[in-house]
Amino acid sequence: MRLEKRILPAIGHIKLAKLQPHHLVEFYNNLREGGLRLDTYYTATTTLIEQFENISLQDIAKISGLALKTVRSIQKGNRTRQEIAEKVCAVLDSNIKKLFTCDDDKTLSTKSVREHHAIISSILTTAFKWNIISNNPAARVDLGKKVRYKPAYYDIEQVTTMFTALESEPLRYQAMIYLTVDTGMRMGEVAGLHWTDIDLEKGIVTVNKQRQYVPGFGTLEKAHKTESGVRTITLSGTVTAMLRQYRNSQIEELLGLGEPWKVDNLVFVHEDGTPIHPNLPYKWFTAFLERHNLQKITYHQLRHTNASLLIAAGTDVVTLSGRLGHGDKNITLNTYSHIIKNKEEKAANSMDAYYSQLTPAMNEERIIKML
């Protein structure tokens, strides 16, 4: 997609033999400006909302070929993709700029720019090996030093403070946050968890799917793409007990309703059994931190918090990588290298503390031997 949508339209007209480093530098600079993201979304303007009041949504859906749910989502002010916005505009015979606002002012990340460079460099390297070009201009482009990503996370003191604040919150959210800190599961994995995935007797949870919200399509539940993503994680006794308590409270709510739940077997649902929105954990957690005046981190950074706690506890990289669902332990090493380095430095400090506790006689004997 990057090749077809950005690279070829920008530099595809330049013959390989004439391609120079300055062409690539100019292209990368353009990427850093707004308006070039492929994940640009569109939101209905007041003009479109007013038109919706006079036109049947069913007719728009039928003529455009879109689902009625999608058209209603646009009417409510939710974002949608360009191709969907264009279909609505075609039905109403109007310009997209009149009926939708676009968030195309967002810029590409440094990582994304480097990914474009990697694609170009790979193509030009092959062309050089095949003697199509005499040199590789991508090799002469300096993108600057790559900054290693350092994920934010809570330390043990901050986690303790957070858990204290959680005591006043509903049990479902207590269980959700404790489970995430305990296992490092991703938000979509938590939202897609079924009770059949949890063995409360053995204290284990099997992660094999995730629920995600895709604009224009709604909520989707899908299996993991890689074998490493499917994993079984051992739960702590504390979280196992909390999940058992939460399960019992769900059963009581079910009996109180006097009717079957709308959705069966999902772990995290509303009081009536309907599934939570896949993005609810993020929204609730953000509001929770604000209510209790806690340092702001994202829900995903609870996953990094789990990793930091396990590293501090001495968990080896292979075990940690398996629990997190990484396909390669090097991903774990690269992501958490700074945490591992800090732990290594603390180990050296621990040795210094040990040496300082040596008896004066032992220290004196050591100094004499050194002389």
Task: List phi, psi (to 5°) of 265.
Answer: 85, -15
Q: Tell me which residues of the chain have a pLDDT lower than 50.
A: 35
End-to-end CA distance of the chain: 69
pLDDT at 179: 97
Asked if 204 and 295 count as a contact pair (C-beta separation under 8 A), the reply is: no
Task: List phi, psi (to 5°) of 242.
Answer: -65, -40
CA–CA distance, 66 with 216 (Å, rounded to integer): 9
pLDDT at 50: 79
pLDDT at 119: 93
List the one residue out of 95, 98, 107, 61 whose CA is nearest residue 216.
61
**31-88 pLDDT, tens digit each:** 776 545 555 678 888 888 878 877 888 888 888 899 999 998 898 888 888 889 889 9
Q: Which helix (H) or strand (E) holds 122?
A: helix 110-129
pLDDT at 296: 93
CA–CA distance, 111 with 330 (Å, rounded to integer): 18
Q: Domain residue spans in the chain? A: 2-36+107-140, 41-102, 156-304, 339-371
pLDDT at 142: 87
CA–CA distance, 321 with 333 (Å, rounded to integer): 9
Sign, Cα dihedral of 169, 170, 172, 175? positive
pLDDT at 40: 66
pLDDT at 222: 85
**156-207 pLDDT, tens digit each:** 999 999 999 999 999 999 999 999 999 999 999 999 999 999 999 999 999 9
- 305, two tokens: 């918090």
pLDDT at 302: 95
pLDDT at 349: 58
- 87, two tokens: 């279909």
Return the HEC string of 146-208: CCCCCCCCCCHHHHHHHHHHHCCCCHHHHHHHHHHHHHCCCHHHHHCCEHHHEECCCCEEEEC
Residues for the chain: how many in total? Answer: 371
CATH architecture of 41-102: Orthogonal Bundle (1.10)
CA–CA distance, 161 with 172 (Å, rounded to integer): 19
Quick check: helix, strand or coil at residue 102?
strand
pLDDT at 93: 84
CA–CA distance, 232 with 28 (Å, rounded to integer): 42
Asked if 153 and 297 count as a contact pair (C-beta separation under 8 A), the reply is: yes
pLDDT at 190: 95
Question: What's the gap between Cα 65 and its chain centre?
Answer: 31
119-122 CB contacts, 8 Å cutoff, 24+ apart: 119/2, 119/3, 119/7, 120/7, 120/11, 120/24
Give me the helices (H) in 6-54, please: 8-11, 21-31, 46-52
CATH architecture of 156-304: Orthogonal Bundle (1.10)
- 213, two tokens: 């919200």
- 12, two tokens: 């595809």
The domain made up of 2-36+107-140 has a fold known as DNA polymerase; domain 1 (1.10.150)
- The pTM score is 0.61
